[in-house]
A and B are shown apart, each in its own frame.
Chain A
Amino acid sequence: VAYHLQRVLRPAAGYRWLSARIEASGPARTLFTGTERQTKTVLFGCRMCGQCTLPVTGYVCPMGCPKELRNGPCGGVGADGSCEVYPEQRCVWVDAYDRAAGAGRVGDLRLLHRPVDHRRWGQSSWLNYWQGRDEELWTGDASPGLGQSPGANT
């Protein structure tokens, strides 16, 4: 379902206009961000980092990892798929792999994720997405180098 929504909600002129209107109004923005928080926390374990990877991480939030790893699992995952830090929890990347594999999207997990911009915690990533601020969060190719690109930081 999430993958279908992903197609429907791709940034189009309409969403860009709508998201600009929401951002311009304080109360609308608060309400919208609150809705995003509620929905994504319940569905995906979202932590509101403001720069969402869910579409390419099998709809499992990588920020639920105690090391907040965005590029895949650490080497300490237990043989049963448990988290090394909180053994009673499953590794978010084991879940992400299973869900991505189930949806035929393992290729997504090869993408290289750029570092988190910590100024964006608590922001609505949906607004950031429609406003085009999320375009450089990940790439398939590391060749241009990491230094030139965090232009999306504004």
Chain B
Amino acid sequence: VSLRERLASGSFAVTAEISPPRGASTEKITAAAASLRDWVDAVNVTDNQGSNVRLASWAGSLAVMAAGLEPVMQMTCRDRNRIALQSDLLGASALGIRNILVMTGDHPKFGDHPGARPVFDLDSVQLLWALRTMRDQHVLLSGRRLDPAPDCFLGAVENPFAPPVEFRAERLGKKVAAGAQFVQTQFVFDVPAFARWMTQVRDLGLHERCGILAGVGAVRSVRALEYMRDKVPGVEVPDDVFRRLRAAPPDKHAAEGVKLAAEIVQQVAEIPGVAGVHLLVAVNEQAVPGILENAGSRETRWADGR
């Protein structure tokens, strides 16, 4: 079933993430998609993640489709203005890409071309709003009519942990009002903090209008965890997680990371309003079966058909 149908049916959804390569080949994407096909409903294809040049997300999405898996094409506001973004949606839709994940995007300063002009012509709320209007009202931002209109399932991202924390559920509310039908969150390490955010999300009724996928990542080493905490904008890692990983022998760190991720999957699955998980395993897709098997041994909610 498609991601849209999975979320509509109310059964537990699982998505993962593929980073396209720095090079003119889709081979690695095809291999990654093939290994994930039996485990996830759909897979994100990142849009020059971290402001580093990679193969385009629309091209990666086509490769994922050809490998028999549903892509979620990421679209950031960092590199393209409103003309290019609307044009990209038309192209993606015409070629059968349905899921579009809209995000502001990292600043170019963090990537391999720090001198690039930051575009940010639209923000993520405005882009969602524009894409939804193209689909539902059949018009561009200019007001000109589209024939035929694109078909798409629109996603957003949110970081429940970044200041101003009290405003984060409201911010998702703006994205839902603008057109978001599903949301993937930043890494959840601090489950109680995530649960507090979910309470606000439920108070606003957002879980009824938007599929909430909790971001869960498997870490392979203490160094990877430190990198995430120190270098990836917006990621908070509680000290408990470090203690737990350090307590395991170094050759068992990766296995411990998978176990930890599986536990977080189980914990967030118990929170009312959570529709599924987004496994943030960018270059580590072989961890996905382990996480889901570990989580599924005590939890059978997503066992149907997999």
Q: Which residues of A contact B (CB under 8 A)?
A: 66-81, 84-85, 91, 93-94, 97-98, 101, 106, 109-110, 112-116, 118, 141-142, 145-148, 150
Contacts of B173 in A (CB 8 A): 110
B26 contacts chain A at the CB level, 8 A cutoff: no
- Check A71–B126 contact: CB distance below 8 A: yes
Of B162, B167, B186, which is within 8 A of A109 by CB?
B167
A69-B123, A110-B173 known; A146+B130 contact, CB < 8 A? yes
- Check A67–B104 contact: CB distance below 8 A: yes
Known pairs A71-B174, A85-B107, A141-B177 / 14 extra A-B pairs, C-beta < 8 Å: A67-B104, A69-B123, A71-B126, A71-B171, A72-B167, A77-B163, A78-B162, A93-B164, A93-B167, A97-B164, A116-B121, A145-B129, A147-B134, A147-B137
Contacts of B164 in A (CB 8 A): 73, 77, 81, 93-94, 97-98
- Check A76–B132 contact: CB distance below 8 A: no
B284 contacts chain A at the CB level, 8 A cutoff: no
B246 contacts chain A at the CB level, 8 A cutoff: no
- Check A147–B123 contact: CB distance below 8 A: no
Of B109, B133, B134, which is within 8 A of A85 by CB?
B109
Contacts of A146 in B (CB 8 A): 126, 129-130, 132-133, 141
A75-B159, A97-B166, A147-B130 known; A115+B107 contact, CB < 8 A? no
Contacts of B179 in A (CB 8 A): 142
Contacts of B292 in A (CB 8 A): none
The complex places the Cα of A146 from the Cα of B178 at a distance, in Å, of 9
Of B104, B130, B132, B163, which is within 8 A of A69 by CB?
B104
Interface size class of B (residues with CB under 8 A): 35 or more
Of A76, A84, A85, A148, which is within 8 A of B139 by CB?
A148
Contacts of B143 in A (CB 8 A): 147-148, 150
Within 8 A of A (CB), among B251-266: none
The complex places the Cα of A75 from the Cα of B177 at a distance, in Å, of 18
B228 contacts chain A at the CB level, 8 A cutoff: no
Among A66, A71, A91, A116, residue most surrounded by chain B Cβ atoms (within 10 Å): A71
Contacts of B109 in A (CB 8 A): 85
Contacts of B236 in A (CB 8 A): 79
